[in-house]
Amino acid sequence: MGVRDLADYPWDAVVPYRQRAAEHPQGIVDLSIGSPIDPTPDVVRHALAEATDAHAYPQTVGTPALREAIVDWYARRRRVTDLTVENVLPTIGSKELVALLPTLLGLGEGDIVVVPRIAYPTYEVGARVAGATPVAEDDPAAWPEGARLIWINTPGNPDGRTWTAEELAVAVARARELGAVLASDECYAELGWDGLWADEPVPSVLDPRASGGSRQGLLSVYSLSKQSNLAGYRAAFVAGCARIIGDLLTARKHLGLMPPAPVQHAMAAALGDHAHVAEQKELYRARRDLLRPALEAAGFRIEGSEAGLYLWATEGRDAWESMQRLADIGILAGPGLFYGAAGARHVRLSLTAPLERVAEGARRLREAAPSVRPASAL
């Protein structure tokens, strides 16, 4: 399979539901896509402005300041204190890395790429573009022989599943037993909400409790899109095994995959300032605190969602039926089956709408509660 064989982008199927929701007299409440809507922090915008005299080609490996900032960030925020600049590499957002990693690792026909059962579709797309075979499986004990690359996503998009350090350690051991690269997409790690993650930081696969003190075969992927509202900057990075990072760097140099120099400067500033991240998390918390009880009052059950940017909800019926019922009251969600067959009876709701629109959606959900009951109650 190649790029020409990819299906249409799945969000095209949501257009009729968007049109229906937009017909609501008070307008649409769009909770479908997790694109940040809050302002980019001043510390980042000022840093970008400082670096606009970008007359030379940027460094694929990253500026020394950015590489040091990534290393320092892992030490301060992720309990990973033994990285060096040889273990980190900036990327043009995280999606391109997710999509290209199987290709950059040299995978192809006959190779297996393990992806989560409920997952952002790019993991599978990347495997198929490389000609490898994607296998959806969450249980390390069931990861198949022949796996060359294993993706985990913690906290997960869309379901918010978050791996403990102990669970990560099991995953690391199994990946090493198979001789596979274990890549952990950790882009929502700053957004813990419930249970253990209300008080504890979300662990990285590079945390010594998970890695056993060795980075061999391990990659951690992170993005500044959500924590710093930098989705438009395409600002992300990968860290881990120095050998793999070196191989990726060589390939990326040949392919011209280098973040723009002003973006690299802005990334370093963002990584050095946690105050804006804490402020952004509180904005998401306020929306979540409005939306979750309203969904539950309307008959939805929230599953997982203990961390991350979304609420993963079901009312016990087909996702498209839930999409239609929500659209009828002017709310647009994302259908769960976009994230795998296991999500066919779920919808995903994002926390990236303005607070007043989330409040409006919560009001509609409460008012519509008698008609938006679980299928079993109808």
Domain boundary among 233, 249, 273: 273
Establish how many alpha carbons lie within 13 A of residue 306's alpha carbon, considering only the half-sphere containing its beta carbon. Answer: 15
Structure token digits, residue 353: 């709408």
313 Cβ neighbours under 8 A, 6+ residues apart: 295, 300, 301, 302, 303, 322, 333, 346, 347, 348, 349
Asked if residue 376 belongs to a domain, the reply is no
**Bridge partners of 349?**
311
* Nearest of 147, 69, 139 to residue 107 by alpha carbon: 147
* Nearest of 331, 323, 312, 302 to residue 119 by alpha carbon: 312
Pairing of strands 301-303, 310-314: antiparallel
- Residue type at 334 in one-letter notation: G
Structure token digits, residue 142: 């069931």
What average pLDDT does this structure show over 96-101?
97
Q: How far is CA 183 from CA 115, 148, 186, 291, in A?
A: 10, 11, 9, 32
* 282 in the same domain as 268: no
Asked if residue 375 belongs to a domain, the reply is no
* 269 in the same domain as 161: yes
Domain count, the chain: 2
Q: For the domain that residue 216 is a member of, what is the CATH number?
A: 3.40.640.10
* 223 in the same domain as 102: yes
* 142 in the same domain as 165: yes
* Nearest of 374, 78, 49 to residue 210 by alpha carbon: 78
pLDDT tier at 217 (50, 70, 90 boundaries)? very high
Is the per-residue pLDDT at 181 higher than 70?
yes
Establish how many alpha carbons lie within 13 A of residue 308's alpha carbon, considering only the half-sphere containing its beta carbon. Answer: 24
pLDDT tier at 349 (50, 70, 90 boundaries)? very high
Q: What is the percentage of the chain residues whose pLDDT exceeds 70?
A: 95
Domain boundary among 219, 250, 273: 273
* 252 in the same domain as 286: no
What average pLDDT does this structure show over 112-131?
96
Is the per-residue pLDDT at 79 higher than 90?
yes
What average pLDDT does this structure show over 153-169?
97
* 303 in the same domain as 253: no
Query: Could you list the residue range(s) of the whole structural domain that residue 333 is in?
Result: 3-39+276-370
Specify whether the CB–CB gap between 47 and 265 falls below 8 A.
Answer: yes
Is the per-residue pLDDT at 126 higher than 70?
yes
pLDDT tier at 378 (50, 70, 90 boundaries)? very low
C-alpha–C-alpha distance, residues 184 and 73, integer Å: 17
* 245 in the same domain as 177: yes
Q: What is the mean pLDDT of the chain?
A: 94
C-alpha–C-alpha distance, residues 52 and 342, integer Å: 46
What average pLDDT does this structure show over 172-179?
98
Pairing of strands 133-136, 112-115: parallel
* 233 in the same domain as 123: yes
- Decide: pTM greater than 0.85: yes
Burial class (CB in 10 A: 0-12, 13-18, 19+), 65: middle
Domain boundary among 215, 249, 273: 273
Gyration radius from the chain CA atoms: 21
Query: Between 34 and 246, where is the model more confident?
Result: 246
* 155 in the same domain as 122: yes
pLDDT of residue 368: 86
* 226 in the same domain as 108: yes
Asked if residue 45 belongs to a domain, the reply is no
C-alpha–C-alpha distance, residues 138 and 117, integer Å: 6
Asked if residue 90 belongs to a domain, the reply is yes
Query: What is the full DSSP assignment across 300-342?
Result: -EEES-SBSSEEEEE-SS-HHHHHHHHHHTTEE-EEGGGG-GG
Q: For the domain that residue 292 is a member of, what is the CATH number?
A: 3.90.1150.10
